[in-house]
Amino acid sequence: MLEFLRKNELLKLVKHPVLCNYYITYRCNAKCSFCDIWERPSPYVTLENAESNLKNLKRLGVNVIDFTGGEPLLHRELPELLKMAKQLGFITTVTTNTLLYPKMANKLKGLVDMLHFSLDSPNAEEHNKSRGVELFDKFIDSLKIAKALGERPDIIFTVFEENMHQIETVYSQLSLPNNLMLILNPVFEYNGVGSELPLAKLQQLSDWSKKKLVYLNNGFMELRKQGGNHTSTPVCNAASTTIVISPENKLLLPCYHLGLDALPIENNLYDLWNSKKVQRLVALEGRHDKCEGCTVNCYMQPSFATELSSYWMAALPSTLKYNWEKGTWKEMI
């Protein structure tokens, strides 16, 4: 089956966008060494614009809203944004560094289907150094508070070559005892920021995908072994699967990381998305010069999920495992 998929044209399983990366602010209260978004000035999205956009996203067929940043918990109206999304039937997801979670936890309870707590090291000093701010204690406090509220956040562990040996500690001391999913997120490089894992380390990482309560998309591993996205035969469907909205209420194309075009939405997202101009830009996804070798996880996840290919097959076990553990499969059928 895999060989057949490699030799034949890819088959689109879904022909509409499925995910919205809604950047509600670029502001952040951390200074992560592998990210530069915190360096950007930024407003906060307004409830008025968000209400219009969410209704139009529903019309476009989007299923999942990722309220992201920066640090999304810096937006004081995040609970209201989440309530809007839930009322419209979206699956919601939020990733936080946990600095503000203890203060916001009660307001967020029951509003986030996929809540992610970020971690770089189980060692307090190392994690704080990576994040550029003292927050390890907040991470531990957040786990306790979430558990008391009946929430099941995922632990997102960004995997670098130098911290791979710490996965076992995170798994045995934080994930298993708390019955929480451990998401292994291999670091990626973009615009001179971040890095890539050496090929020799990829197999070691792949072995973790078989563990209970561990999510690791082996599609990522396969893509990296193949040298990432290739502009001649692109596997990235970032523009067609993922709608990216900026804090300035602009549609970003083909993705946030490349950001070649920023089109004002002006409360007309549905018509803007279906316009000839936008669809011409969408048709170029994965084919720009800077798309060569790209391995940005954010866009490969929906790309693999919407197109029948060898990457779809590689990603399927982890996708099924995660949605079964989280219960989100019920909202996808």
The number of domains in the chain is 1
What's the pLDDT score for residue 1?
43
Identify the domain containing residue 70 by its residue range. 2-8+17-331
pLDDT in tens, 159-206: 888 889 999 999 999 999 999 999 998 877 655 544 566 677 777 888
What's the pLDDT score for residue 140?
97
Q: Tokens 């990210």 appear where? A: 35
Secondary structure tally for the chain: helices H, strands E: 15, 14
What's the pLDDT score for residue 193?
47
What's the pLDDT score for residue 328?
66
- Domain CATH number, residue 209: 3.20.20.70
Contact between residue 303 and residue 245 where contact means Cβ atoms under 8 Å apart? no
pLDDT in tens, 244-257: 999 999 999 999 88
Using a pLDDT cut of 70, give the percent of the chain over it: 89
What's the pLDDT score for residue 133?
87
What's the pLDDT score for residue 32?
72
pLDDT in tens, 58-112: 999 999 999 998 999 999 999 999 999 999 999 999 999 999 999 999 999 999 9
Q: Tokens 């088959």 appear where? A: 11
pLDDT in tens, 127-156: 998 888 899 999 999 999 999 999 999 999
Supply 176's token pair. 């298993």
Contact between residue 298 and residue 66 where contact means Cβ atoms under 8 Å apart? no
Rounded Cα distance, 47 and 62, in Å = 19
pLDDT, average across residues 15-25? 94
pLDDT, average across residues 115-129? 94
Rounded to the nearest 10°, the torsion over CA 316, 318, 319, 325 is 140
What's the pLDDT score for residue 34?
65
What's the pLDDT score for residue 196?
67
Rounded Cα distance, 322 and 333, in Å = 15
Amino acid letter at 183?
I
Cα 134 from chain centroid? 24
What's the pLDDT score for residue 212?
93
Per-residue b or e along 139-164, where b marks 16 or more CB atoms closer than 10 Å to that residue's CB = beebbebbeeeebbbbbbbbbbeebb
pLDDT in tens, 293-331: 888 888 888 888 888 888 889 899 988 999 888 876 545
Rounded Cα distance, 121 and 127, in Å = 5
Rounded Cα distance, 288 and 293, in Å = 11
Per-residue pLDDT band at 288 (split at 50, 70, 90): very high
What's the pLDDT score for residue 283?
94
Per-residue pLDDT band at 9 (split at 50, 70, 90): very low
Contact between residue 241 and residue 303 where contact means Cβ atoms under 8 Å apart? yes
What's the pLDDT score for residue 152?
95
